[in-house]
């Protein structure tokens, strides 16, 4: 009994937390349904599906023929519209990005049997035309994040592929720094914000560093809002960088990896070999290794089957970062180690008494 109560409380906490998380990074999808004459069709049944997460949502068109699905996560969706006396229309390939307000366009139902289906593929060019908002944003998808050759596995390096963004940061070394080296559309380097799943990840004391550095394999989407974004992003006057973390799917998937960098794979500098001393290559050793695993949560009696997912990722960094100049450190003498400081001198050479 106690175990059942504990499981029930955990599930309840997960259920009430889902809307809060969705509200921070969610997208929305809307559209309108017409008949062949152009008149709106109220009361049509609209079904939204996302196969990888086994998601299925339903709604009805309003008196104006409109439908809306709020609080959606990034993904590849399909919309099906049914109405008695009309053929069913299915539109596939509707891609939603983080926090995007997307229009699925107009669904024109042809007269016929409901059992007849008209398959339509969403026009990618039409989806790029923003009719619901005037904000300017660029998105780097999760696949691009994982496949782009990012030298130091620092996601801030991704801003360099976004138009209007100037970055002077050197992100060859992992860590939370470098946030103060970014300027978006000419704004100051301390005037932008970065959120992970809707929570601010910027040190408010300096506006130049982050609290945590997220593992790149745990990123679902990386989005940069450069201008004309909505009032809800009111913390900073510059751009808004939004990161959405990955989720599991109905199938188990995992990855292990090692990213290795070593001076033995680098060419030596010209002036190191031009002289008589023939200097060796500078030390350059970085090892980033980790794993991730995602999939469905298996509960007794198939409870919440294909509706509850998990994703877990860990990464470790072992890196050698040599100093640009030698550092002198004074080591204790044998007498000092034994507790005798009678011959110890200060920085000016005077005996310490």
Establish whether domains 24-128 and 136-245 are of one fold.
no
CB neighbours of residue 16 within 10 Å = 9
Average pLDDT, the chain: 84
**Highest-pLDDT range among 170-179, 267-276, 321-330:** 170-179
Question: For position 194, what pLDDT does the model report?
Answer: 92
Residue 62's pLDDT band (cuts 50, 70, 90):
very high
Q: Under DSSP, is residue 75 helix (H, G, I), strand (E, B) or coil? A: strand
**Per-residue model confidence (pLDDT) at position 3:** 54
- The 10s digit of each residue's pLDDT in 220-233 is 989 898 888 777 77
Answer whether 154's CB lies under 8 Å from 125's CB. Answer: no
**Extents of the domains making up the chain:** 24-128, 136-245
Would you say 154 and 176 are in contact if contact means Cβ atoms under 8 Å apart?
no
Per-residue pLDDT, 276: 67
Please give the CATH topology (third level) of the domain spanning 136-245.
Answer: Ferric Hydroxamate Uptake Protein; Chain A, domain 1 (2.170.130)
Output the pLDDT for position 19: 43
Q: Which residue matches tokens 């290794």?
A: 289
pLDDT band per the 50, 70, 90 thresholds, residue 352:
confident
Q: Note the pLDDT of residue 47.
A: 96
Instruction: State the pLDDT at residue 129.
Output: 66
User: 338 is written with which tokens?
Assistant: 């034994």
> Which pLDDT does position 16 carry in this prediction?
45
Question: Whole-angstrom Cα distance, residue 121 to residue 90?
Answer: 8
In sequence order, the β-bridge partners of residue 329 are: none
127: pLDDT strictly greater than 80: no
* Cβ contact 127:157 at 8 Å: no
Residue 205: CB atoms within 10 Å: 7
What is the model's pLDDT at position 23? 45
Record: fold of 24-128: Immunoglobulin-like (2.60.40)
| Predicted local confidence at residue 18, as pLDDT | 46
> Is 193 a residue whose pLDDT tops 60?
yes
- pLDDT > 90: percent of the chain: 33
306 Cβ neighbours under 8 A, 6+ residues apart = 53, 54, 250, 296
Residue 167 has pLDDT above 70, yes or no: yes
Residue 64 pLDDT > 80, yes or no?
yes
Write the pLDDT tens digit of every residue in 272-310: 777 667 788 888 888 999 999 999 998 988 888 888 899
17 pLDDT higher than 70: no
> In this predicted structure, what is the pLDDT of residue 131?
65
pLDDT computed for residue 2 by the predictor: 52
CB 177 within 8 A of CB 155: no
pLDDT at 253: 93
Dump pLDDT digits (tens) for 68-112.
999 888 889 999 999 999 999 999 999 888 878 888 989 999 999
C-alpha distance across the termini of the chain, in Å:
72
């Amino acid at each position: 009994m106690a175990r059942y109560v504990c499981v029930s409380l955990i599930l309840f906490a997960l259920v009430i937390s889902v809307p809060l998380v969705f509200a921070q990074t969610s997208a929305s999808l809307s559209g309108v349904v017409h008949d062949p004459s152009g008149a709106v069709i109220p009361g049509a049944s609209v079904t939204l599906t996302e196969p990888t997460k086994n998601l299925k949502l339903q709604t009805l068109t309003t008196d104006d023929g409109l439908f809306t699905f709020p609080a959606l996560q990034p993904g590849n969706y399909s919309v099906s519209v049914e109405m008695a006396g009309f053929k069913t229309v299915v539109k596939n390939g509707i891609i939603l990005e983080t926090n995007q307000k997307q229009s699925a366009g107009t669904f024109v139902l042809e007269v016929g049997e409901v059992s007849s289906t008209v398959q339509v593929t969403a026009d990618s060019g039409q989806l790029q035309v923003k009719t619901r908002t005037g904000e300017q944003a660029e998105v780097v998808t999760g696949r691009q994040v994982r496949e782009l050759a990012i030298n130091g596995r620092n996601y801030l390096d991704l801003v360099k592929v976004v138009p209007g963004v100037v970055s002077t940061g050197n992100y060859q070394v992992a860590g939370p720094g470098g946030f103060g080296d970014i300027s978006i559309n000419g704004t100051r380097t301390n005037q932008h914000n970065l959120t992970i799943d809707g929570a601010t990840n910027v040190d408010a004391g300096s506006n130049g560093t982050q609290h945590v550095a997220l593992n790149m394999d745990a990123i679902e989407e990386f989005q940069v809002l450069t201008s004309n974004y909505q009032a809800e992003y009111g913390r900073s006057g510059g751009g808004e960088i939004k990161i959405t973390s990955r989720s599991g799917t109905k199938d188990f998937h995992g990855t292990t990896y090692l990213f290795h960098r070593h001076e033995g794979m680098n060419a030596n500098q010209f002036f190191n070999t031009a002289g008589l001393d023939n200097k060796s290559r500078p030390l350059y050793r970085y090892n980033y290794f980790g794993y991730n695993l995602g999939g469905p949560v298996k509960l007794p009696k198939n409870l919440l089957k294909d509706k509850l997912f998990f994703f877990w990722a860990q990464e470790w960094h072992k890196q050698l970062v040599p100093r640009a100049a030698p550092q002198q450190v004074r080591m204790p003498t044998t007498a000092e180690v034994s507790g005798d400081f009678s011959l110890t001198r200060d920085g000016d050479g005077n005996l310490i008494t």
